[in-house]
Homo-oligomer: A and B are copies of this chain.
Amino acid sequence: MPFESRRRARDEKREAVLRTAVALFLEQGYHGTTLNHVAERLNITKPALYNYFRGKDEILYECWAIGADHVDERIDDIAATGGTGLEKLRKLIVSYAETMTTDYGKSLVRFDVRDLTEHNRKIVGLAKKKIDQAFRDYIGQGIKDGSIRPCDVKLSAFAIAGSLNWIGHWYQPGGALEAEAIAKEFAIRLTEGLAIKSIRKKADKPPIRKRKSRGVSG
């Protein structure tokens, strides 16, 4: 079956280009990375890249699309799930945080939409909107079902998304903190102020007992 194997070989190369490109874009910045750099690291020459992509901005767009798709899938998963708004929100936080520790996830927050074509910029804009909307929806649901205390939905969504997006700027594999651990920790920490039932982890160093540590929340 040469059809298939050939097609697969092609796709693998395409992916290799993307992996290399996104890594370089993150290392050196999109404008600091030339197509020659990308090609060089792949041990090919620049024009060879044009067998797989229409141009530099399309490569950038594909990175973005992969990251967005990744989150999108998880959103669909969560939407299909049951549970309170708070539970859904926590799931989304975990998924999004984990995505932010990957190169393609970082694409979502480290690159500039203005480097895309008008057309692709719109697509990216919609994807971002969907993600933002998911955060707001779950917070809104949580307020309705009583799992989240009343608050400004928009502002809360911004606050949470901001923390998560920031992960894409500071996280690097091999650091002190593992991706999964970060995700779990953030899911709790970012919803502490919102949740009606407090769920302190045992893992936390228990607060010093001397102090009159009164009950949490009003």
Q: List A residues at the B interface (Cβ < 8 Å).
A: 28-29, 31-32, 112, 114-115, 146, 149-152, 155-156, 158-167, 169-170, 177, 182, 185-186, 189-190, 192-193, 196-198, 200-202, 204-208, 211, 213-218
Is the CB–CB distance between B202 and A218 below 8 Å?
yes
Bound: A27/B163 CA distance, A: 24
- A196 with B207: in contact, given A32-B114, A163-B159, A177-B155 (CB under 8 Å)? yes
A213 touches which of B190, B207, B215 (Cβ 8 Å): B215
Q: A158's contact among B32, B146, B166, B208, by CB below 8 Å, is which?
A: B166
Cβ B217 vs Cβ A206 within 8 A: yes
Q: Interface of chain A, helix or strand or loop or mixed?
A: loop
**Contact: A197 with B213, CB < 8 Å?**
yes
